[in-house]
Amino acid sequence: MERHTLPALHVLLALAVVAIWGSNFVVIKAALGHLPPLTFAALRFTLAFLPAAFFLKRPAVPWRNLALYGLLIGVGQFGLLYIAMKSLISPGLASLVVQMQAFFTVGLAMWLSGERVRPYQLAALGLAGAGLAWLIVHAGAEATPLGLALVLLAGLAWAGGNMTARASGQVNMLAYVVWASLFSAPPLFALAILMEGWPTVSGAIAHADGSVWAAVAWQSVGNTLFGYAAWGWLLARHPAAAVSPLSLLVPVFGMGASALLLGEALPAWKLTAAALVLAGLALNVFWPPLARRWLPAPAA
C-alpha cells in the first residue's frame, strides 16, 4: 500500500487550524465568566449561521447529513465542552483531553470505511496516547472525574462529526459548516432555556459587553467557519489517520496560551506529557518521507 503524506501546504493549513483551536481555550474560559455554557454555545452557532447563510448556497448534501453534523459538533462537542470548562476542568487540560478525538476518529474510520492504519501510525498514536494518559493521571485538582468524562464525550462527538463531514464528499466546506449550524443553534437554545433558565439566558445576553460579543464572534468566525471548514476540507481529501493526529498539537497551544494568559502552571509532568505528544506527532508526519528515502520499496 502506498504511504500517504500530506502536501506541505496542507500541513501548514492544519497547523494554522490547531493553533487557533488551541489558543481558543483561553477565549472560551474568559467568555464563560460572563455567559452560561449552553447560552454561549447557542450564540456561537447562531452567528456561524447568520448572516453567512444569505451569501452561501446550501451544499448539495442530504439534510440528514447536515443535521447530524450540526448536532454532533454543536450540541455534542461544544455543548459538553463548555459545560465542563465552566468549573470542572482547566483550559489547558481540556485542550488536551478533547484530543482523544484523534483516536476516536481513526477508530471510526477503520470501523466504517475499512481504512487500514500502518504500524508507524499506531506507534505515533501510542506515544501521544501515553502523553494524554500521563496528564490525566496527574491532573489532580485541575479536573474532576465528571469534567474528564464530559470532555471525553465531547471528543467522541467531534470524531463523529469528522466522519459525517467526510461522508459528504468534496463539497464547499465553508458552506457546509454554515448550513450545519442551522441544526446546532436551536437545540442549544432549547437546552439552555431548559437547563439554565430563561431569566439567566436573557439576562446574560442583555448584559454582555463588547468583549463578550468579541469572544462569541471569534468562536463563530475563527473557530467554526475557518477552523471546521478547513479541517473538513482536509479530511475529505486525506485518510483520517494522516490528518487527525495533527490535532494533537492543540494541547501544546492550549497549555501554552493558558500558562501565558491565565497563569496556569506548567510543572514537569505536564511538559513531559507534551513531549510525548510532540514525539507522536513528529513520527506520524515525518516517518513517510524518511521511509521513502531510506527504506527499500515493498515488493510488487
Q: Is pLDDT larger for residue 219 or for residue 62?
A: 62
Mean pLDDT of 30-44: 93
Distance between CA 111 and CA 161 in Å, rounded?
A: 15
14, 243 Cβ separation under 8 angstroms? yes
The whole-chain average pLDDT of the chain stands at 85
pLDDT value, residue 115: 66
Which of the listed ranges 80-89, 108-117, 232-241, 290-299 does the model predict with the highest average pLDDT? 80-89
Tens-digit pLDDT profile for residues 184-218: 999 999 999 999 999 999 999 999 898 899 999 88
**pLDDT digit string (tens) for 92-146?**
888 878 877 877 877 787 777 776 777 887 888 888 888 878 877 877 767 788 8
Full-prediction pTM beyond 0.75? yes
Question: Of the ranges 146-150, 234-238, 258-262, 288-292, which one carries the lowest mean pLDDT score?
Answer: 288-292
Q: Is the pLDDT of residue 58 over 70?
A: yes
pLDDT: which is higher, 66 or 124: 66
Which pLDDT score is estimated for 46? Answer: 94
Q: Are 44 and 117 contacting, i.e. CB atoms less than 8 angstroms apart?
A: no
Residue 47, pLDDT score: 92
Grid cell listed for 100: 482523544
Angle value at C-alpha 103, between 100 and 108, nearest 5 degrees: 125
Q: With contact defined as beta carbons under 8 Å apart, do 187 and 74 qualify?
A: yes
pLDDT confidence of residue 285: 66
**Band (1; pLDDT cuts 50, 70, 90):** very low
Q: How confident is the model at residue 279 (pLDDT cuts 50, 70, 90)?
A: confident
Whether residue 2 is predicted with pLDDT greater than 60 in this model: the reply is no
Q: What is the pLDDT of residues 148-190, one digit of tens each?
A: 889 999 999 998 998 898 888 878 888 898 999 999 999 999 9
Which neighbouring-strand residues pair with 143?
89
Task: Give a three-class secondary structure readout of the chain.
Answer: CCCCCCCHHHHHHHHHHHHHHHHHHHHHHHHCCCCCHHHHHHHHHHHHHCCHHHCCCCCCCCHHHHHHHHHHHHHHHHHHHHHHHHHCECHHHHHHHHHHHHHHHHHHHHHHHCCCCCHHHHHHHHHHHHHHHHHHHCCHHHECHHHHHHHHHHHHHHHHHHHHHHHCCCCCHHHHHHHHHHHCHHHHHHHHHHHCCHHHHHHHHHCCCHHHHHHHHHHHHHHHHHHHHHHHHHHCCCCHHHHHHHHHHHHHHHHHHHHHHHCCCCCHHHHHHHHHHHHHHHHHHHHHHHHHHHCCCCCC
Q: State yes or no: pLDDT of 244 exceeds 80.
A: no
The domain segmentation of the chain, as residue ranges, is: 8-294
Q: Which long-range contacts (CB under 8 A, 24 or more apart) does 224-227 make?
A: 224/44, 224/45, 224/48, 224/177, 224/181, 225/48, 225/52, 225/174, 225/177, 225/178, 226/17, 226/20, 227/17, 227/20, 227/21
- Residue 287 pLDDT: 78
Q: Does 234 or 179 have the greater pLDDT score?
A: 179
